[in-house]
Amino acid sequence: MQLTSRLKGNLFLAALVCAMQARAFADDPKPKPENTVSVHLAEPVAPQKFEHAPKFWITEMADRSGNAQPMLVLKSRGGIFLDRQPTVIVREALEESLKSGNLLAADSNSADLAIRVYLFHFGLAEGSGLDFFGKVEFTAIVKNPKTGETAEVKASGTSIAKGAARKKNVQKNVQEDLEESLKDAARNFLRGQQLKEAVGLLWKGGDTAPGADAKP
């Protein structure tokens, strides 16, 4: 009798939890044209100049954020969604910027250096009041396909934009905040000292093996 009562109690609790989860899911915002933003760089970030300019190719963009809804950047106020996956947005920004500096290879086979990117954060964190804090953070593994050598380059970008009471203004500010964070992260990567050192380590501007051209 006691076992039956306990079983009934467990079944009741399980049913209650399922009902609460279903209610929460139903209350989640859904992407619609009116609550979706498109994040792009206004113009490519000019990469730094290299002594021996290599051609880069982005081989992979992996999401390591652990975010189950990476396209939902703001849940409150009816929700604000991205129109593309964050990995697609970051890849587009980096490729456009590399291309603007004549550093993007035509394909993977013609690349001097390959880049594998791990994206750890792309989105907003609400701050005090009506301010929003944007952040884009990723780590790139730069590899020389011929030697197998690699180097790690970390990059991050942040931005703070004013919030707004009206939904339309909130979306505009969120979009601008994300674009500024993206631009800052791309600039931090393409113009940073870490990439310069990685290229200096991995690429000597030729196909000869290390030490092949050294004098006896």
Give the chain's end-to-end CA distance (angstroms, integer): 93
Residue 213 lies in a domain: no
Is 102 in the same domain as 121? yes
3-state helix, strand, coil in the chain (%, to 5): 40, 25, 35
Write down the pLDDT at residue 77.
73
Write down the pLDDT at residue 5.
62
Residue 1 lies in a domain: yes
Per-residue pLDDT of the chain (216 residues), as tens digits, is: 455 665 555 555 555 544 444 444 446 899 999 899 999 999 999 999 999 899 999 999 999 999 999 999 988 878 999 999 999 999 999 999 999 999 999 999 999 999 999 999 999 865 544 567 889 999 999 999 999 999 999 999 998 765 555 566 888 888 999 999 999 999 999 999 999 999 999 998 765 444 433 333
Is 25 in the same domain as 52? no
pTM: 0.81
Q: What sign does the CA torsion over 164, 170, 172, 173 have?
A: positive
Is 1 in the same domain as 108? no
Is 142 in the same domain as 63? yes
Is 11 in the same domain as 43? no
Residue 20 lies in a domain: yes
Write down the pLDDT at residue 163.
56
What is the spatial distance between Cα 156 and Cα 178, in angstroms, rounded to a whole number?
12
Residue 210 lies in a domain: no
Give me the number of domains the chain comprises: 2
Is 43 in the same domain as 19? no
Is 110 in the same domain as 13? no
Structural domain that includes position 97 = 35-202
What is the spatial distance between Cα 194 and Cα 200, in angstroms, rounded to a whole number?
10
Is 67 in the same domain as 82? yes
CATH number at residue 61: 3.30.160.150
Is 126 in the same domain as 47? yes
Alpha helix ranges (H) inside 30-137: 86-100
What is the spatial distance between Cα 133 and Cα 154, in angstroms, rounded to a whole number?
20
CB 126 within 8 A of CB 172: no
Upper half-sphere CA count for residue 58 (Cβ side, 13 Å): 20
